[in-house]
Structure 1
Amino acid sequence: MKIITVRRAALPALLLPLLSLSDAQAADEQTMVVSASPQAVSELDTPAAVSVVNGEDMRHAAPQVNLSESLGAVPGLQVQNRQNYAQDLQLSVRGFGSRSTFGVRGIRIYVDGIPSTMPDGQGQTSNIDIGSIDNVEVLRGPFSALYGNSSGGVVNVTTQTGQQPTTLEANSYYGSFGSWRYGLKASGAVGDGTQAGDVDYTVSTSRFNTHGYRDHSGARKNLANAKLGVRINDVSKLTLLFNSVDIKANDPGGLSYSEWRADPRQSPRGDQYNTRKETKQTQAGLHYERELSAHDDLSVMMYAGERQTTQYQSIPMAPQLKPSHSGGVIDLDRHYQGIDTRWTHRGELLVPVTFTTGLDYENMSEKRKGYENYVLNNSVPEYGQQGAMRRNERNLMWNLDPYLQTQWQLTDKLTLDAGVRYSSVWFDSNDSYVTPGNGDDSGDASYHKWLPAGSLKYAVTDAWNVYVSAGRGFETPTINELSYRPDNQSGLNFGLEPSTNETVEIGSKARIGNGLLTAALFQTDTDNEIVTDTSSGGRTTYKNAGKTRRQGAELSLDQQFGESWKLKAAWTWLDATYRSNVCDDSNCNGNRIPGIARNMGYASFGYEPEMGWYAGSDIRYMSDIMANDENTAKAPSWTVVGLNTGYKFGLGDNWKMDLYGRVDNLFDREYAGSVIVNESNGRYYEPAPGRNYGVGLSVAYQFQ
């Protein structure tokens, strides 16, 4: 074990593609005990743009439903709530992922080391249980590339490890629009985790229901998460992970500008077509850690899961009459598994050096079917019902990535980090729906790329570091983007290439009092950016757009005054533009990339004592966002304010309670919470709710 004295309690291990923080907890606010497998460093000492958000802060006077509630203080991270639980959050890091019309893409997401991003780069946040989060790390910049395909940024979620004493907690939240959430959590440990047979556990479950702010936007979500650790002996530990989510959600869809202004709560297509989505996902993992010697450690993460999705879309009958149309109902059945094995060695080679090498393998098999979203009743279509089959295929995706990273302590003040990953991604599609006018779309494709990254960090003082880093990343098309060719011929779109990007970053971090100030300047140049080519008849094709540039600055401050006053602030400036023409009917060279705000700001200030009354406020700003490549449509800028207050108290030595209330969008601002990029019908806008309220109660009992 190694003792590190720091000013911040949450420390990341995101520099390496290892995805594991220490299971040890902070001994107090100034000292944290971390295992040396791998060697962890403080947020201050990490030579990369990485932010750590504490789980307790995410649960403080919050509904605990969406990540958008609590990640506003992370610079460079744009999280927008679509108010649509059928499509997940809209999440991007420094502009990567902004074009996603559903789910999350271009960003790697992990929960306790298990990817929530599939091998092709498509991911989701729906399985993240905020009630059991220990911390969330958000990595931006060059070192993201060491996570492989579609790693424009990395979001790493670590759930709580059980500790003594055993604690039972029940919590609830009731808010506007018929929203409520119930949660239960049990955590504890047998022993202190150092002896053979010691066990730790955290088990949580929650249920969320809402009528939704908009018409036809109700949802129900059941979520469960479990983490069980067993100390095998004094040098090895085994951790069992389990996660399950079950969602039923209506889909209100996007609105045109005139519809939005006339009535932001309406859902004309949702009501007409009964658009909705059902998702069930269950996964389990096994993490084995072993100290091979005083200088060597071994880690093996194995996992497997399945995800079933059924979605009804708002597609009229006429386009579906075309032989090539795949229908208005999507039926997906996915199975995925993987293993990440790594070895870490700490020693000396003229100077102190750490090597980590590993092999990451992931695969996913997908059965994708499509059906008409109507049945005929006296020649009149009744929408929202499954009709005839229009698509039937089996898709396979897998990757095999060896990686290596080293850290060299060149002098007492100068540190070199360098790493490389060789990422290989394969796609294979077998089409079983071949009819006249709808040919055989079977085929296969593969992509391979070396992904290097490096950084130099100089410690000006013990409390002030500066660094410079650079790296190369890449992003393959998803299987959905490969499915069709723009020339209406059969087979996969083999002409679609992965996009590649090169990033340079300069940053500085300084400890100021009991807090941290960070700043970063960056530039990312991308070749072969993947964008929409054609969208008609329900079939969308994609193309490579040439060159783009993202350049910007990030600034953040996390400060605590005295024992109870807390301040968080962040500002992001991001200029993301096309550097070649991506539009067929106009010149888009120089246009802003849609879906990306040029400026984002966040600030929160609160009085948060350990017990008694507390109160706080936050303000969020986002500049206007372009909705299409032509820059002819945009969502206006907005600023919203939130307030919260509550009271924490105890009953005896065992009971603790927290009763709180909050109001969001205090001044009832009308704004678009997100946009659907390049929506072919001009229905770009997904309205956010006006002023809304909520109250919550948490009750915990500790067995002494």
Structure 2
Amino acid sequence: MKQPFCSTRSLEAVALACALAWIFPAIAQQPHKRVRRILTPQTRSRPVVHPEHIVVTGMSRASATLHPTGQTTYSAERSDFANRSAQSVADMMATVPGVTFLQGNGPRDTVVSVRGSGARQSYGLKNIQVTEDGFPMTQPDGTARADLIDPHAYEGVDVFQGPASTLYGNYAINGAINFRTRNGANIHGLELGSDFGSFGTFNNYMTIGAGNKSYDFMLFGSDVRGNGFIPNSRYNTSTENMRLRISLTPSDRLILKFVNNVTDTSLPLRLSLNQFRTNPYQNGCANAASAAAGCASVNLLTNGAYGAYQTTSPQQAGLGRFDRRTITGLRWEHDFDPRTTWRTQFTYDQRHIDQPTSTTAFVGPFNSYNVQTDLTNHGHVSRTPLTSFVGASFDYMDYGYQVYNLTPQGGATRGTLNSTSYGHQWNIGLRFQEDWQFAPRWHAVVGLGGTQSDVGAVETLYTHTESSTTQRDITVNRRFFQLAPEASLVYAPSQTLTLHTRVGTAYATPGYSSFFVTPQGTYGNNTQLKSETSLGFDLGAEWHPSPSLNIQATGFYEFYRNELVSQSAGVNTPAGSYTFNAPASQHRGVELGATWQPWRVALPGARLKLSYTYDNQIYTKYTEVLSNSTLARSFSRKGNLIPGVMPHFLDARVLYDQPDGWFQGLGAFAEVTWRSAFYIDNANILKAPSYALLNLEIHYDPPSRLGWIHRLHSYFEVQNVANLTYAAGATDISDTLLANGQQAGRDVLAAKTGSIYAGTPCAFFGGVRIRF
């Protein structure tokens, strides 16, 4: 169903406690030549000259990032996203193979998935470790969210793909992501910018930067707001981001990092597939009593405690998210000599949430403390280079949240207390890695990491009746110890071709919330759960036969054990579902990234850029229990595709930037984004529909010969040119057992709510930025 958003009147705006730590290397904020990640020795300290580098691409880099040599790595640079509206992390990483996106709970809460990580989630980034300038952005329980990220503040992003717990520890089961903020010396002054466009969107931002050999300073701030294209999706998000590097002496450096984000957004409800097809943008849904067809609603306790329910719309209930996240980090880097560097850093991270997102409001702080220290030495075995790394880390999170029933009074009014939970999680570990260039064209890497984790919590459940209130306490505590070895090999037979292969392992411990419901479906201790683990094999190549063509391709095959999933506990159980370990699954696929200048001499400003991923993930051993009010049955899911994982996704761009002449600085691109259909249930009955979008953009960066006009940048973009109605977010739904003992078919599942958010209709955006 299409809406007339592309008419001209749719332009709404034009114009710890400190302890020894474990391995996240600190990342030096010093400019250096970019070394393609899968091809080179580890870049863990300031550059050291080896007898021979394998391949150097000659692009500048604002920071060096820890990663295993031979690990598949794809990057997006500022040139890939700076000339567009770039409202969320999805706009930053659209060109990165292996990475997919779904709409989360809020305008910038993008569900980022690397090789299917977090495919079952409705929010955030799961099963990947996230860092920014080397400081951790993932809390000890594995939670990271994209609300923090305003793309205007960043120079680029690196995605390290495949199992990576050797270096990145707990929850790096699908890899890691490092965001790189802009270098102050490159900014060299003040930049003021504003983006504006459809649905009342405005983003006003500022960047200050300065630097020399003694220091580098970057400060960014933005305020973005809009009405949204779905009722009850108005938002206002502010972000501050700062990084300061100071060279105290020739061998000592301090790096200070600060990030603060406040998210204030109303929140619509997710739809069933049938509702999405009937009323994708939820028009006419403000009043539940007189709602149009295809509207989502929520049933709230009339008195907020017990008894009768009242059906309300998201607007009437006042659903939304009102969250704050503040991160402060400090790192010290010391060179014992030109070949040996020691780094130590401390990070404090507070996430305070207030989330009346459905029938309840989830409120409370999550305080995290992270300490890391590591030592890197660039030595030799005989005359061959050997890079040795050893590190330690400790992180700790304490939390305390309350869950309140919502009432129909509006404004997210809280009723009685539903439950509380207070607890902690800590992870402590050691790791090492040896990177040996044993021949001029060969690199071999071996490494081992280990983590001890402890999860403890007390959950209190409250039951309210007319005459009394009762409570029940459930105490859980569980420790886990995990090891993650890895090995990789890199071979460069020529200056134009590099091959790499790697075997990596990873693990992810169960979260605290999974321990409170037993396999019998009763509230109680479920601490028999095991950690999810993975063993992955990568084989890849990078080939650049000419200056105009670069191709990077990787095949991967990963074996998963004890994947954490939720399923029914049986007939008439109090809690309904519980978390258990699915015994085995396999993830396999191919990733391809390519850049080509087909007419390098005749038309040097023209480029083609392609990103494609095939991701096939299946259960190899998993029996699911479904139940209704009278019986329960088991169904084998062996051979079924894992729900939530897109089998195919592609981003293709045709770009042109005029390099000289009267129109120097004028550029444009056309982009096609394609996402295939994917299953959203374990039985593989119902699919979220596929879609293909066309986006167009034009921008202008005046050349220096035009004087002060050179300081002005402007752009205009049309998104979803064909005004296609598509599913931008689709979370998994549970299968249903009918009264006759058979699984429900497609018609029943298509009516299940709580899954789909529609994507943006045809929209217009423009922006200006000026440098002083």
1:396 aligns with 2:424: yes
Q: What is aligned with 1:615? A: 668
Matches within 5 A, 1:70-89: 70-82=92-104, 84-85=105-106, 88-89=109-110
Q: What amino acid is the match of 1:696?
A: G
Q: What is aligned with 1:425? A: 453
Compared CA separation, residues 86 and 132, structure 1 to 2 (3 A): closer
Q: What is aligned with 2:375? A: 343
2:483 aligned residue (434, 450, 454): 450
SS in 2 for 1:105: coil
1:520 aligned residue (554, 558, 566): 554
Q: What is aligned with 1:278? A: 322
Is the Cα contact below 8 Å between 2:619 and 2:638 reproduced in 1?
yes
Is the Cα contact below 8 Å between 1:502 and 1:526 reproduced in 2?
yes
1:577 aligns with 2:599: no
Q: Deviations over 1:627-648 (max 9, x none)?
A: 1112221111111111000222
1:605 aligns with 2:654: yes
Q: Deviations over 1:35-75 (max 9, x none)?
A: 87165876779522101111243222x22320111312111
What's the offset of the Cα at 1:182?
A: 0.5
Q: What amino acid is the match of 1:344?
A: T
SS in 1 for 2:638: coil
Q: What is aligned with 1:200? A: 216
Matches of 2:98 and 2:623, distance apart in 1: 25
What's the offset of the Cα at 1:253?
A: 2.0
Where in structure 1 are there 5+ consecutive unaligned residues?
1-15, 316-327, 376-380
Q: What amino acid is the match of 1:430?
A: V
Compared CA separation, residues 134 and 238, structure 1 to 2 (3 A): same
Is the Cα contact below 8 Å between 1:285 and 1:301 reproduced in 2?
yes
Q: Deviations over 1:204-247 (max 9, x none)?
A: 10001111121111111000001111110111111111110000
Matches of 1:156 and 1:28, distance apart in 2: 15
Is the Cα contact below 8 Å between 2:262 and 2:325 reproduced in 1?
yes
1:468 aligns with 2:489: no
SS in 1 for 2:90: helix
Matches of 1:164 and 1:555, distance apart in 2: 31
Q: What amino acid is the match of 2:656?
A: Y
1:118 aligns with 2:146: no
Q: What is aligned with 2:473? A: 440
Q: What is aligned with 2:579? A: 542
Is the Cα contact below 8 Å between 1:583 and 1:630 reproduced in 2?
no
Matches of 2:354 and 2:574, distance apart in 1: 20
What's the offset of the Cα at 1:505?
A: 1.0
Matches of 2:487 and 2:201, distance apart in 1: 47
Matches of 1:648 and 1:677, distance apart in 2: 44
Q: Deviations over 1:499-557 (max 9, x none)?
A: 11110111111124335311111101111111112499887531111111111111111
Compared CA separation, residues 383 and 241, structure 1 to 2 (3 A): closer
Matches within 5 A, 1:276-315: 276-315=320-359
Is the Cα contact below 8 Å between 1:580 and 1:589 reproduced in 2?
yes
SS in 2 for 1:441: strand
What's the offset of the Cα at 1:690?
A: 1.9
Q: Deviations over 1:75-125 (max 9, x none)?
A: 11112234x417821111111211112222111111122222111212111
Matches of 2:252 and 2:245, distance apart in 1: 11
1:188 aligned residue (192, 195, 210): 210
Larger radius of gyration: 2
Q: What amino acid is the match of 2:503?
A: A
2:31 aligned residue (18, 24, 33): 24
C-alpha RMSD of matched pairs (Å): 2.6
Q: What is aligned with 2:541? A: 508
Q: What is aligned with 2:713? A: 658
Q: What amino acid is the match of 2:201?
A: S
What's the offset of the Cα at 1:132?
A: 1.8
Q: What is aligned with 2:73? A: 50
What's the offset of the Cα at 1:438?
A: 4.5
Instruction: State the TM-score, normalized to the length of structure 2.
Output: 0.81
Matches of 1:284 and 1:637, distance apart in 2: 41
1:244 aligns with 2:288: no
Q: What amino acid is the match of 2:715?
A: Y
Matches of 2:410 and 2:528, distance apart in 1: 39
1:174 aligns with 2:196: yes
Compared CA separation, residues 36 and 580, structure 1 to 2 (3 A): closer
Matches of 2:525 and 2:191, distance apart in 1: 51
Q: What is aligned with 2:640? A: 591
Matches of 2:401 and 2:674, distance apart in 1: 40
Q: Deviations over 1:398-449 (max 9, x none)?
A: 1012110110111111110111110222111134567776422122111111
Matches within 5 A, 1:220-239: 220-239=236-255
Matches of 1:35 and 1:490, distance apart in 2: 49
Q: Which moved more, 1:161-170 or 1:302-311?
A: 161-170
Is the Cα contact below 8 Å between 1:113 and 1:301 reproduced in 2?
no
Q: Deviations over 1:474-520 (max 9, x none)?
A: 11122222333343445442122111111011111112433531111
Compared CA separation, residues 383 and 179, structure 1 to 2 (3 A): closer
Q: What is aligned with 2:517? A: 484
Where in structure 2 are there 5+ consecutive unaligned residues?
1-22, 58-67, 283-294, 298-313, 464-468, 627-634, 736-751
Compared CA separation, residues 112 and 39, structure 1 to 2 (3 A): same
What's the offset of the Cα at 1:684?
A: 1.9
Is the Cα contact below 8 Å between 1:457 and 1:468 reproduced in 2?
yes
Matches of 2:44 and 2:90, distance apart in 1: 33
What's the offset of the Cα at 1:296?
A: 0.6
Report sequence identity in percent.
21
Q: What is aligned with 1:321? A: none
Matches of 1:663 and 1:285, distance apart in 2: 39
SS in 1 for 2:93: coil
SS in 1 for 2:229: coil
What's the offset of the Cα at 1:145?
A: 4.7
What's the offset of the Cα at 1:612?
A: 2.8
Matches of 1:629 and 1:638, distance apart in 2: 22
Matches of 1:101 and 1:660, distance apart in 2: 32
Compared CA separation, residues 153 and 165, structure 1 to 2 (3 A): closer
Compared CA separation, residues 654 and 615, structure 1 to 2 (3 A): closer
Q: What is aligned with 1:11? A: none
Instruction: State the TM-score, normalized to the length of structure 1.
Output: 0.88
What's the offset of the Cα at 1:166?
A: 3.0
Compared CA separation, residues 557 and 537, structure 1 to 2 (3 A): farther
Q: What is aligned with 1:322? A: none
Q: Which moved more, 1:673-682 or 1:692-701?
A: 673-682
SS in 2 for 1:97: coil
2:758 aligned residue (675, 687, 704): 687
